[in-house]
Structure 1
Amino acid sequence: MAVRRDFDAAAAAWDEKPHRVRLAGDIATAIQARLPVSKGWHAMDLGCGTGLLTLQLAPLVRDIVGVDGSRGMLEKLDEKVRAAGCSNVRTLYCDLERDELPEGTFDLITAAMLLHHIPDVAQLIDALRRRLQPGGWLALADLDQEDGSFHEDATGVFHNGFSRECLLALLSDAGFGEVTVAPAAEVVKGERHYPVLLAVGRRCR
């Protein structure tokens, strides 16, 4: 089994990093600009963490489930959902190394900064396609290819970002149509700037 970062321990202070909050907002803005998001949609935010992206998307869709493999992260999201009185947000624990993805079909599945923690990205994308309605959309935001300097602690990191060509191929090979990859945001750490790409595709089979 792969060594993983202890996200439960990181959950309490996760939102204290301004760049994480800003990144979620930028990704949500990019998703709205690229996809015809509808108030009738059922959505899933995979690897939701404390719900920084989940809660940005919640007002735009009918309902959204935040899925994560860290109970500590989900507890923080549950606290925020209760405080905000969000009636269309629920959380679900899912350890991707042991559990199947949640049952059901969705109009939109998102994942932000998750892929670089996944050993077999192609397998995950294929599984996500099967959880989408025909015509449903997948939106994956992750680091552009980088030199490994983004993470101070690389525990649980299996990929140093992804090139545009790689993301295009992953979605196309999984049977997605209308695939595009474009910049969505940028994370600044000291003097280093790390672009974040948003790859989107539509289930066409």
Structure 2
Amino acid sequence: MSTNIVWHEASISKEQRREKNKHHSFILWFTGLSASGKSSIANAVAQKLFEQGNQSFVLDGDNIRHGLNKNLGFDEESRKENIRRIGEVSKLFVESGQIVLTAFISPYREDRNVVRALVEDNEFIEVYVQCSVEECERRDPKGLYNKARKGEIPNFTGISAPYEAPANPELVVDSEKFSIEECANQIIEFLVDKEYILKN
């Protein structure tokens, strides 16, 4: 690591950006098994936020691995580095006054807590998209569970690699019981109740 670097303070503060945007800036961290509905719910929430005039952006696990993290595999260390990088990028979005929605399996509690520690107490909302492995496997839109069962995909979360559900998430949405729209509405209601965003 280079020691010849100096932190430069921005000319526009996070608070000034929030004031202009008229909403808090924070991370909505969606975690859950593959096919639980993380990306679909995150994008549904983002659409609602957009329609209400809030500045937001979705970081999706598959999309990020096409660019920023395309050099990473799926072993435990690569997964940790994947989440570390996303945490740092998410922090930049928070500093820019925006709402960032991240849809990543992020199977390890420790890694999610590392991201939580990067930002202030009221800037990280862990959303557990709860769905049984049986239901996720039944959906299996990408055919990944089938491949994992055949041994074609090693280290597959829920089959050959562990998933550590959040112990105390800020919010739990049950995608097995509720539709994508209903889950998204639950999240919007939570954000309004907590005064992260204004009521539309």
TM over 0.5: no
TM-score of the two chains, using structure 1 as the length reference: 0.39
TM-score by length of structure 2 reads 0.40
User: As a proportion of its length, which structure holds more helix?
Assistant: 2
> Which structure has the larger Rg?
2
Whichever structure has more strand as a proportion of its residues is: 1
Higher relative contact order (CA 8 A, sep 6+): 2
